């Protein structure tokens, strides 16, 4: 049988006593479906005041199928540039998954463009997520899209309206399933058709 030992720190405090509160904090993962980490994410998008067409984007996904942004014209598209080594990118990934789930029947497409990594790194990261995201993950291993899309840091997200124009952008992590963000994204389908 295993003997349970208690290790004492120099101060005389049991490390087991220290570990229990730490374990509770670490396992406090979600409240109302939102992790404690995600609560630190920003809850707004920055509107783009002038009409700017989205740059070209044509990449392979995790199934080696090609996705071309121009084929998605007529839909609102969320284009998220990210990497597995980026802490805010990792924090917002679950909320992107929930955004996809809540808007997939509302003419919204979510594309997550991994920058500069091979598929092994991305597959390993996706395997850690529960549930595994169902949105499209694309690979830009050479990072070339950062220049054409003017991405200055990761994560950076662009919201493309059904006409193919950039309507909003976000630099840094976001909680993408925040009700105000979802409303801003889904409202693009209506406002674009009126003009």
In this prediction, residue 30 has a pLDDT band, given cuts at 50, 70 and 90, of very low
pLDDT in tens, 142-179: 999 999 999 999 999 999 999 999 999 999 999 999 99
pLDDT of residue 42: 73
Taking the C-alpha atoms of residue 98 and residue 180, their distance in angstroms, rounded to an integer, is 14
pLDDT in tens, 112-126: 999 999 999 999 999
CATH of region 34-194: 3.40.30.10
pLDDT of residue 40: 62
The DSSP element (H or E) to which 22 belongs, if any, is helix 15-27
Residue 159, both tokens: 């919201």
Q: Do the Cβ atoms of 81 and 157 come closer than 8 Å?
A: yes
Q: Domain locations in the chain?
A: 34-194
pLDDT of residue 55: 98
């Amino acid at each position: 049988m295993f003997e349970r030992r208690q290790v004492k720190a120099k101060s005389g405090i049991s490390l087991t006593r220290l570990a229990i509160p730490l374990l509770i904090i670490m396992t406090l993962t979600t409240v109302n479906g939102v992790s404690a980490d995600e609560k630190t994410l920003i809850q707004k998008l920055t509107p783009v005041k002038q009409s700017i067409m989205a740059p070209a984007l044509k990449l392979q996904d995790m199934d080696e199928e090609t996705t071309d942004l121009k084929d998605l014209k007529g839909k609102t598209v969320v284009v998220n540039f990210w990497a597995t080594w980026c802490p805010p990118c990792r924090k917002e990934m679950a909320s992107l998954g929930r955004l996809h789930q809540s808007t997939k029947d509302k003419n919204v497409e979510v594309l997550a463009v991994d920058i500069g990594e091979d598929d092994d790194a991305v597959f390993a990261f996706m395997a850690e997520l529960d549930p595994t995201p169902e949105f499209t993950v694309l690979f830009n291993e050479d990072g070339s899209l950062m220049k054409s899309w003017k991405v200055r840091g990761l994560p950076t997200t662009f919201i493309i309206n059904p006409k193919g124009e950039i309507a909003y952008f976000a630099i840094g992590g976001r909680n993408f399933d925040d009700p105000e963000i979802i409303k801003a994204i889904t409202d693009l389908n209506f406002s674009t058709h009126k003009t």
